[in-house]
Chains A and B, each alone.
Chain A
Amino acid sequence: MFDLEDAIKSWRKNLNHSESLEDGAKTELECHLRDKIEFLLGQGRSEEEAFAEAVSKIGTPDTLGTEYFKATTRHLSGRPPWQQSRWMPPLLSNYIKIGLRKIRRQKVYSFINIVGLAVGLACCAVIILYVTNELTYDSYHPDAERSFRIGAHTINQVGEHRSATTPAPLALELKASYPQVEQAIRIIPPFENAQNTLVVRGEKRFFETRIFFADPEVFEVLHIPFIYGTPKGALEAPNSVVLSEGMAAKYFGDELALGQTIQIEIDYDIGNANVRIEDYHVTGIVRNAPTNTHFKYDMLLSTSTINRFIPDIDTDWVHWHGKFTYVKLLPQSDPTEFEGQIQRAAAMAAQKFTERFGREVQLNEYFLEPLTRIHMYSQDIRRQLEAPGNWYYLYIYSFTAFLILLIGCMNFINLSAALSTTRTQEVGLRRVVGAQTRQLINQFLGESFLITALAFVAAFGLMWLLLIPFNQMAGTELTLAGLKQPVVLASLIGLLFFVGIISGSYPAFILTAFKPAAVLQGKSVTKSRGALIQKFLVVGQFAISIFLVICTLTVFKQLDFMRGQALGFDTEQKLLLRVKSNLNHLRRDYEEIKKSFMLHPSIYGATVSSTVPGDGDQSGYYLTKTDEDFRKAPWLTVITQDYDFMQEYGIRVVAGRGFDRNLGNDQKESYIINLAAVEALGFATPEEALGQSFQASYHRQFKRIVGIVDNFHYRGMRELVEPMILDIEDSLFSTITLSIRIKDMRELMRHVVAKWEEHFPGVPFEYSFLDENFDREYRYEAQMGRLLGIITSLGFAIACLGLFGLASFVVRYRIKEIGIRKVLGASTANIVTLLSKKFVWLILASIAIASPLALYAMNRWLQDFAYRIKPTGIVFLVAAAGAMAIALGTVGFQGVRAAAANPVNSLRDE
């Protein structure tokens, strides 16, 4: 039966829940309720109905309490302190407090967790920056989607290739005859000295490499923002130059460069015939080129300058080496249709070529490359402004960074899972006072987010450190400023959630699975299921580490192999001097120049040549037996050299003899070829080739083959050795090689610089070493080796840290057992063995998993090399032994510490 008085009493009791209701207020509310009920009864309701309606009208105790609080508080939000906020879970402050306390109390474990995660995150973040940079190349240009570079696909006597260069008049033709073209422009690197353009202002003289001629409308197609000056007309007049801010600072310091002049040397023709050093008028200062563009400029010169020295530049459809055409189409035009139409221009160019040289062009087609695809999708295109990106290494780097992060996460999971056994009491108590499973999961996920967030902060510091070596290795200019990009930010936030959830969910799962009653009664919590997963994680960590070690060692072995004996020439202790100006002096007086350098006792040899191993573009000769028909002749890479080159470089002769200044006139009469050339020229044996006489396309002289040299790996060992010819031809000399013994490098360099200034006054002195120069051939491999080296050592360090933490935990867990064993007479060795045994099996399992995977991966990688090592057992043994030693060392350290402790201390409280 419904009793009104009881109901009202219990209703009033309910009001006690609210802290802000005073007794008077409660009485007043009760009085109100009674009046209301009386009124409703008067309307003929039953007691029960009247009560229910009155209660619902008056409002819940909670809202009433809140309203009372609002009426008296000065808080802006008006939220009473006992009420949950809408967005913060209850007990949040308690969770944070407990979380921070755990970190403080368990400094070592927290340190391991945070450092492990931070290293992984930093590696990932750097790689994300790198990948974003690679994938966003040139996407910042407005209208990039309708801007294209035009390339040419040709088949001629040299073979078939696709190149990024097109004739200079093409841009003019496109603008004049194709209505869908909004703008077309040319970019032309300085002709013969693009790699070393001398720039002079007062005392400042430097060689620059990023100087280009560009049409006045270049700023309408490519996004190059001006700081001083305006794009309109900046590159109109002859001898105008637009500087990047970096260049302006380099040559003008704090002065305003705009309106001043600077001298630039341009070599318009091969062979020094047309070298001009002229004043250029600075008409604009622009922002430095960003890192993610294929067109990295330092100075832009007006194309109208060229006309004075090459009058037919705008009409010459035949010489199109080193001229780049960019086109921007009108918004609604169809690129495919346009690409079809420009074949008219291609056909015209081919026809002009035939008219001029009397040779048929088998194929000449133009194709469009979208601006944004130039970097990552043009690996097969030759003669580009910048070497295209490499998907292969992009994947490898991303993958390894991910692996490191995984190691960090596994650490975290493992340690938290181990530590969770110390938190059973806390969980039990929370359960008893009413925590729901979901709340507990939230708490532990939250803790892992807290640690992940701390790791993120640490990772930013690490990134700053990592970026320096990374930029050096990868040849990039990435900075932390790149983090501002939305894509990068989004990925980092994604990473934070990924890591937080991955690392937090397993501990949360274990902890919430405890039965509170069992825990609080002091029963031990069964952990067989957890232990298995922990073992699995340790195996995973070490398998990844061992995998990385094997890969790194193999990469280094292959690099060693490619740099070592097998090359067929000496790379050590060779100092290179490049002569870029006053070449005639070198070509005429090289013997005298060599002698003057060799006056120093530490310089025991000197030679002069056209190129040296590791140089990029090679020139070559067509060789014929008869007077004409170079078209069908075989093409041989040439190194022109003096009499001493072969001796200084240690090139081995297999038949005949080397060049000899004492035997007749080798300079006029003799060639030497390599074994590959013997085959290319159609001889069965080296002996057959000896004495044969050939004419070279370059100087049209007949010379006899007097010697055959072994195939030396001039371009490195990634590619097959090309047929090669050695010739004494001084008109191509440009490099001096000095063989040195390094005793006092500074004293030696003083001598070299002094002699340089004697022979080449006013030419900036620059030098390099052959092994560095040659390493450019292997830059991707070397880059990958070093990066793998760093990442692997970091990964290994994290895994060991984790193992260290785990071992110390196991020791702590079994400290009483160890004490009892010691009391009963176990030796330190017994105890260390006892503790290590389990880990030995885990490491063995990791080796067993990692080895076949590494073998597979490395075999794939080695496929790319024409000359390669076989993955040897040694590498695997070294990796396995190393992993085992380090792991046992880590565990053993903990074991020895535990065994050495006095058992009294651990057993006292029992």
Chain B
Amino acid sequence: MVSKALIAASTKPMILSILAGGEIYGYQIIHSMIEISGGILEWSEGTIYPVLHRLEKDGFIRSQWKMSNNGRHRKYYRLTAFGRKELEKEKKQWMSVHNVLSKLWAPLPSFD
């Protein structure tokens, strides 16, 4: 299990990364996140939408209602240029945290 706080913190870079692959709607985002994580990360699925709203309000993503084949209204999201920059920033931050942690947790050199 991953703590709530960590999930909350990592939702934004995950969404941005998934959207980097192209236009996509809410259900698909959460579906692929669950798939990629292999079920280790758990969301209350609906809570992805408030985050998407927030990101849109901040100007990182843009949304568009489209009618799907089966006659359902779907809201598609895609990354803005601003969002792309934000993703780079996030990437850097997470990588630096990752580097520090992996150095800290690397097995100690042994002299036998």
Contacts and interface: CB of A to CB of B under 8 A. Distances in A.
Given A31-B73, A71-B51, A71-B53, A58 B31 contact: no
A681 to B, nearest CB: 96
A76 B50 CA distance: 17
Nearest to B75: A28
Contact of B74 (A31, A39, A64): A31
Interface in B74-92: 74-75
Given A68-B53, A72-B57, A34 B72 contact: yes
Contact of B50 (A24, A32, A57, A68): A68
B46 A58 contact: yes
Contacts of B25: 31
Contact of A63 (B26, B44, B54, B73): B44
Interface in B41-64: 44-47, 49-51, 53-54, 57
Nearest to B74: A31
A838 to B, nearest CB: 66
A25 B45 contact: no
A375 B57 CA distance: 74
Nearest to A68: B50
Interface string A59-89: 1000110011011100000000000000000
Contact of B53 (A31, A35, A36, A72): A72
Interface string A11-33: 00000000000001101110110
Contacts of A39: 31
Contacts of A63: 44, 46-47
Contacts of A72: 53-54, 57
Contacts of A28: 26, 49, 75
Contact of A36 (B44, B45, B54): B45
Nearest to A59: B44
Contacts of A31: 25-27, 72-75
B81 to A, nearest CB: 22
Contacts of B72: 31, 34
Contacts of A34: 72
Given A68-B53, A72-B53, A59 B26 contact: no
A35 B50 contact: no
A24 B64 CA distance: 11
Interface string A392-408: 00000000000000000
A884 B40 CA distance: 82
Contacts of B75: 24, 28, 31
A322 B46 CA distance: 87
A68 B45 contact: no
A32 B46 contact: yes
Contacts of A29: 46, 49
Which range contains the number of B residues in contact with the other chain? Answer: 10 to 19
A897 B36 CA distance: 86
A462 B45 CA distance: 61
B52 to A, nearest CB: 9
* Residue in A29, A32, A58 whose Cβ sees the most chain B Cβ within 10 Å: A32
A31 B25 CA distance: 10
Contacts of A59: 44-47
Contacts of B57: 71-72
- Main SS of chain B's interface residues? helix
B50 A58 contact: no
- Main SS of chain A's interface residues? helix
A327 B57 CA distance: 78
A68 B31 contact: no
A67 B43 CA distance: 13
Contact of A64 (B26, B46, B54): B46
Contacts of B49: 25, 28-29, 32, 64, 68
Interface in B1-51: 25-27, 30-31, 44-47, 49-51
A31 B53 CA distance: 16
Contacts of B46: 29, 32, 58-59, 63-64, 67
* Residue in A58, A63, A72 whose Cβ sees the most chain B Cβ within 10 Å: A58
Contacts of A57: 44-45
A67 B30 CA distance: 16
Contacts of A25: 49, 53
Interface string A701-729: 00000000000000000000000000000
Nearest to B51: A71
B9 to A, nearest CB: 14
Contact of B73 (A27, A64, A67, A70): A27
Interface in A67-126: 67-68, 70-72
A557 B50 CA distance: 83
Contacts of B53: 25, 68, 71-72
A28 B44 CA distance: 15
Given A32-B45, A36-B45, A70 B50 contact: yes
Contact of B27 (A24, A32, A68, A71): A32
Given A31-B27, A32-B26, A36-B27, A71 B50 contact: yes
A39 B51 CA distance: 23
A58 B27 contact: no
Contacts of A27: 73
A67 B26 contact: no
A59 B57 CA distance: 23
B31 A64 contact: no
A433 to B, nearest CB: 31
B44 A35 contact: no
Contacts of A32: 26-27, 30, 45-46, 49
Interface string A40-66: 000000000000000001110001100
A58 B74 contact: no
Contacts of B73: 27, 31
A58 B54 CA distance: 18
A76 to B, nearest CB: 16
Contacts of A24: 75
Nearest to A70: B50
A63 to B, nearest CB: 6
B45 A67 contact: no
B45 A58 contact: yes
Nearest to A69: B50
Contacts of A64: 44, 46-47, 49-50
A70 B53 CA distance: 11
A25 B65 CA distance: 12
A35 B47 contact: no
A28 B27 CA distance: 9
A754 B85 CA distance: 101
A57 B42 CA distance: 9
A70 B57 CA distance: 13
A72 B51 CA distance: 9
* Residue in B26, B30, B53 whose Cβ sees the most chain A Cβ within 10 Å: B53
A35 B51 CA distance: 19
Contacts of A70: 50
A556 to B, nearest CB: 73
A39 B30 CA distance: 13
23 contacts: A24-B75, A25-B53, A28-B26, A29-B46, A31-B26, A31-B74, A32-B27, A32-B45, A32-B46, A32-B49, A34-B72, A35-B27, A36-B45, A39-B31, A57-B45, A58-B46, A64-B44, A67-B47, A70-B50, A71-B51, A71-B54, A72-B53, A72-B54
9 A-B pairs with least C-beta separation: A59-B44, A71-B50, A71-B54, A35-B27, A67-B50, A58-B46, A59-B46, A68-B50, A64-B46
Given A35-B27, A68-B49, A71-B51, 16 more contacts: A25-B49, A31-B26, A31-B27, A31-B72, A32-B27, A34-B72, A57-B45, A58-B45, A63-B44, A63-B46, A64-B44, A64-B47, A67-B50, A68-B50, A71-B54, A72-B57
Interface of B: 25-27, 30-31, 44-47, 49-51, 53-54, 57, 72-75
